[in-house]
Amino acid sequence: MGSAWLLSLWSFLQNYPEILLALLCFFFLQILLSRFKDEVFVNWPLVGMLPSLLLNLHNFYDWGTQALSKSGCTFVFKGPWFANMEMLVTCDPANVNHILNANFSNYPKGSDFFEIFDILGDGIFNTDSESWKIQRKMAHTLINHRRFRKFVAESSREKVEKGLIPVIEHIAQQGKVVDLQDVMLRFMFDSTCILVFGIDPGCLSISFPTVQFAKAMDVVEEALIFRHTAPRSWWKLLRWLRMGEEKRLAEAWETIDHFIAQYISMRRKELEKPKKKIEGEEEEAIDLLTSYMDYQLEEGVSVPKSDRFLRDTTVNLMLAGRDTTSAALTWFFWIISKNPIVETKILEELKTILPEKEEVVQKIKPVVFKTEELAGLVYLHAALCESLRLFPPVHVEHKGVLEPDVLPSGEKVRPGMKILYSMYAMGRMEGVWGKDCLEFKPERWISESGKLRFEPSYKFLAFNAGPRSCLGKEVAFTQMKAVVSSMLYNFHVDVIEGHPVTPKISIILHMKHGLLVRVRERCL
């Protein structure tokens, strides 16, 4: 009976050779995988290490961290033959310091970066050499200007008071489940539009409207991570054919350009109107688009102010402002929900800056804190830094190589090779942060004297390091503190039990399934 069944099966497989081939391939792969089960990467003939990457995409971040840990913080990834996917991956602080500081000029963004992020045009994130230096100087001057800092402080507080708090109050009163990641994205989209264009698009409101500009930016991020994982020849073919992710990217690109063109045109018309200066009147706060239009490199030396230049600049600012800070806030509220002791310590610190009489506080509830009140809070700042260490919004960056070089770890690099450094993995390395590196401990940022502890930027990479360090660091902290202080003091956030929390495969560390929560008003 058994032999007859086997003969029938063999006859069936002979009639369907494609099934036989599939079974043989399956058993062959099982044998090979069992042989190399202890190796993170297997360098296969022809296809290189790409199968290992594709098989672990579902667990990309932790798998990549494990690969770096096992390899001593640095390894060379080899892609398919002729696919130009060979790259050195590292999370070694010494290597990062060498690349971003010591030998900065040898490691530009490069042509590969420009091709992948072509939607950013000739903006500051995409350029090198003189163009980058000029834009860097402009951005540094404008972002650090007293008027703009005042604008950041006032607009952040106002958006929390008149935008975020009313929406959260409504959600709490209704007892609804809400995606807090969506709320933070909406808040930061509006906030960034205010800072960049001087316009509040009203993305954050009780009705949760669909804003095509914001939706298009989401599509762009998904397409950009696809370009990072697919062979360049493949996504370029899709771009030429206008298919798949590349078609979605092209459509989103058109939407973004349309919205930005409208804002630029609107602002040009406003600036053409004559304004009377009233003597003694305080100089008003100003958005970045207006500042760029008025900017002069030095006395008598103007810079390009074409629509194309302004478009590229504002796209870069929007991508940097909206997504990074919203991701940071989402992960912060999730990790705080898992650490009630930390939440209590933050609340106790917030109470120290409130009016002494509790009845006064009750009358002005919900409480919205001022920027200057929050500036001196050590534990709140430490908690934000600790969350950023474990969940950096920009989790990986890559560089090109101009000249042959030897990294501090001993690896040789050559022109044409890509270098990736992982901020996510670095925050999880025992050799960098100690045996408790996976724990959420704000105390690691506080010295024995009770002051904030300094960590070198090439070790704490949430805001990059070296000449390309993030110019918006203080802006981000101002916005995060405004949101966190008012949210925690006025409300308690409960993550829905059983809700899966895992990072999304994207250029920004968003949550794959959002963050579903219930919010209730806090009784203090």
What residue type is 439 in one-letter code?
E
Q: What does the alpha-carbon distance between residue 157 and residue 176 come to, in Å, rounded to a whole number?
A: 25
Q: Phi and psi of 53, rounded to 5°?
A: -65, -45
- Using the predicted structure, report yes or no on whether residue 107 has a pLDDT greater than 90: yes
Measured between alpha carbons, how far apart are the two ends of the chain, in Å?
77
Is residue 495 classed as helix, strand or coil in its secondary structure? Answer: strand
Q: What percent of the chain has pLDDT over 90?
A: 56
Q: Can you give the pLDDT at residue 40?
A: 58
Residues of 71-82 as b/e, b for ≥16 C-beta within 10 angstroms?
Answer: eebbbbbbbbee
Highest mean pLDDT among 68-72, 316-320, 423-427: 423-427
Q: Can you give the pLDDT at residue 336?
A: 97
Residue 24: pLDDT band (50, 70, 90) is low
As a whole number, mean pLDDT of residues 119-130 equals 88
Residues of 405-427 as b/e, b for ≥16 C-beta within 10 angstroms?
Answer: bebbeebebeeebbbbbbbbbbb
> Please, what is the average pLDDT of the chain?
85
- At 28-52, the pLDDT tens digits run 555 455 444 455 566 667 676 677 7
327 close to 201: Cβ distance less than 8 angstroms: no
- Using the predicted structure, report yes or no on whether residue 508 has a pLDDT greater than 60: yes
Q: What percent of the chain has pLDDT over 70?
A: 84
Q: Can you give the pLDDT at residue 346?
A: 97
10 Å CB burial of residue 244 (0-12, 13-18, 19+) is middle
As a whole number, mean pLDDT of residues 415-439 equals 94
CA separation, residue 447 to residues 231, 450, 453, 513 (Å): 47, 5, 5, 37
- Using the predicted structure, report yes or no on whether residue 13 has a pLDDT greater than 50: no
Q: Can you give the pLDDT at residue 181?
A: 96
- At 86-104, the pLDDT tens digits run 789 999 999 999 999 999 9
> Inter-axis angle of helices 340-351 and 473-490, to 10 degrees?
100
Sign of the C-alpha dihedral, residues 186, 483, 165, 282? negative
- Using the predicted structure, report yes or no on whether residue 371 has a pLDDT greater than 50: yes
Torsion of CA 167, 172, 176, 179, to 10 degrees: 50
Q: Which position has the token pair 């010494």?
A: 94
Q: How many CA atoms lie within 13 A of 413 on its CB side?
A: 30
Spatial CA neighbour of 419 closest among 97, 90, 98: 90
Q: What is the 3-state secondary structure (H, E, C) of 470-481?
A: CCCHHHHHHHHH
Strands 418-422 and 74-77, sheet pairing: unpaired
Spatial CA neighbour of 319 closest among 137, 458, 126, 483: 126
- Using the predicted structure, report yes or no on whether residue 214 has a pLDDT greater than 50: yes
Q: What does the alpha-carbon distance between residue 376 and residue 349 come to, in Å, rounded to a whole number?
A: 10
- At 253-295, the pLDDT tens digits run 999 999 999 989 988 888 777 665 555 555 565 899 998 888 7
Neighbouring C-beta atoms of residue 518, cutoff 10 Å: 15
* DSSP letter, residue 285: P
CA separation, residue 46 to residues 82, 191, 232 (Å): 9, 48, 16
Q: Can you give the pLDDT at residue 9?
A: 47
Spatial CA neighbour of 370 closest among 143, 158, 145: 158
The token pair at 197 is 């264009």
360 close to 475: Cβ distance less than 8 angstroms: no
Q: Can you give the pLDDT at residue 17?
A: 56
Residues 6 or more apart whose Cβ sits within 8 Å of residue 291: 142, 145, 148
Spatial CA neighbour of 64 closest among 36, 87, 97: 87
The token pair at 1 is 């009976």
The token pair at 59 is 């667990």
The token pair at 500 is 């899966």
As a whole number, mean pLDDT of residues 513-524 equals 90
The correct CATH number of 36-270+285-521 out of 1.10.760.10, 3.90.1300.10, 1.10.630.10, 3.40.605.10 is: 1.10.630.10
Q: Can you give the pLDDT at residue 21?
A: 55
287 close to 194: Cβ distance less than 8 angstroms: yes
Q: What does the alpha-carbon distance between residue 392 and residue 395 come to, in Å, rounded to a whole number?
A: 5
Q: Tell me how long the chain is.
A: 524
Q: What does the alpha-carbon distance between residue 260 and residue 307 come to, in Å, rounded to a whole number?
A: 9
Q: Can you give the pLDDT at residue 6?
A: 47
Spatial CA neighbour of 424 closest among 475, 450, 469, 387: 387
The token pair at 262 is 């409208």
Sign of the C-alpha dihedral, residues 360, 365, 370, 371? positive
- Using the predicted structure, report yes or no on whether residue 417 has a pLDDT greater than 70: yes
> Inter-axis angle of helices 307-337 and 244-272, to 10 degrees?
110
Q: Can you give the pLDDT at residue 30?
A: 53
- Using the predicted structure, report yes or no on whether residue 348 has a pLDDT greater than 50: yes
As a whole number, mean pLDDT of residues 296-312 equals 72
Neighbouring C-beta atoms of residue 13, cutoff 10 Å: 15
Q: Which residues are paired to 90 by β-bridges? A: 74, 421
Q: How many CA atoms lie within 13 A of 405 on its CB side?
A: 22
**0.75 exceeded by pTM:** yes
